[in-house]
Amino acid sequence: MMTPYLIGAWTIGNISSDYRSFWTDDEEEMTRIDSIREAWPLFIGGLFSWYYMFVMTTCLFIMSLERTFASYFIGNYENTSRLYLLFLLFMFQHFIIFSMLYLTFCNRIHFLTAVIFFMIVNILAMIIFFGNRQYNRNIQKKFKKEHVESVRHYTLPVRFQAKENLRVFNLTVRVFVSGFVLISLAISFLVVLTFKWIPSFDTVLTYCFENIVHLNPLVMCSVLIFSVGTWSKALFHSRLPMINKLTRITFIDLRPELPNQTQQQETETYFSQLHNVWEQNRSS
């Protein structure tokens, strides 16, 4: 809805068809619109574009909070329903989104202020992720180094959840790196457009920015696919770019690995622990 205005195909009033700045604090450069009816697609498209960008830039922060809850309720997070956490995270994220949406769409704050705010949010998300990663790694280390003692203090679900938290962290790192590159490119284009460093390339840079914002799922979904072991192996064994091979992929036959001595000891310990709990319940 915004692209025809951005590239000059549609104009407002009697202004030139040249691209107007993405953001400016100079009133002389602003386009005067007497009524929303004159360019309602521009307003609606701009509103949804801001909403979409804010959703994407806050996802990492919300995911870090969700993993914090997973670490806090590590004993029974997977098998206990906590719908209130989903509701709280959803409401908190949209409180941030709608607050920033009002401030930016109505031009209540400086453009760079909004950029700095979301940079801080994403840096804070990585700090939270790093803290959760260290916490779950410490649990894993205790199971490996002090196996007997760790079994007394941690149950099997705790270790499973710790592994799951680490797996999600490793997946998020790949997504964060890809997202950071895309966000950096988008911000670079916006800076060039805002300060008019290369006026002759305004239309091209605008087109590139629009594609980064709206087509980033093509990159992010590819990163997610290659982050999952089974999917990535299936793609590597499909002899790309032969598309007809992709439709024939069903599964990859992996040879089962024999458990090593440490895994065998852990299995015996857990079954022994389960047997003791069973005997205690019978006696009581």
Contacts of 41 (CB under 8 A, 6+ apart): 1, 2, 4, 5
- Looking at residue 254, its pLDDT comes to 42
- More reliable by pLDDT, 142 or 67: 67
Please spell the DSSP secondary structure of 239-261, one letter per residue: TTT-HHHHTT-----PPPPPP-H
d(CA 192, CA 39): 26
How large is the average pLDDT for residues 237-250?
A: 49
Global pTM value: 0.67
For 33-71, write each residue's pLDDT tens digit.
Answer: 777 777 787 788 888 888 988 888 888 889 889 888 888
- Looking at residue 250, its pLDDT comes to 43
- Chain-centroid distance of CA 119 in Å reads 14
Q: Which two tokens stand for residue 164?
A: 């799951």
Locate the domains of the chain by residue range.
Answer: 3-214
Helices 111-145 and 40-72, packing angle to 10 deg: 20
For 195-213, write each residue's pLDDT tens digit.
Answer: 778 878 877 887 787 788 7
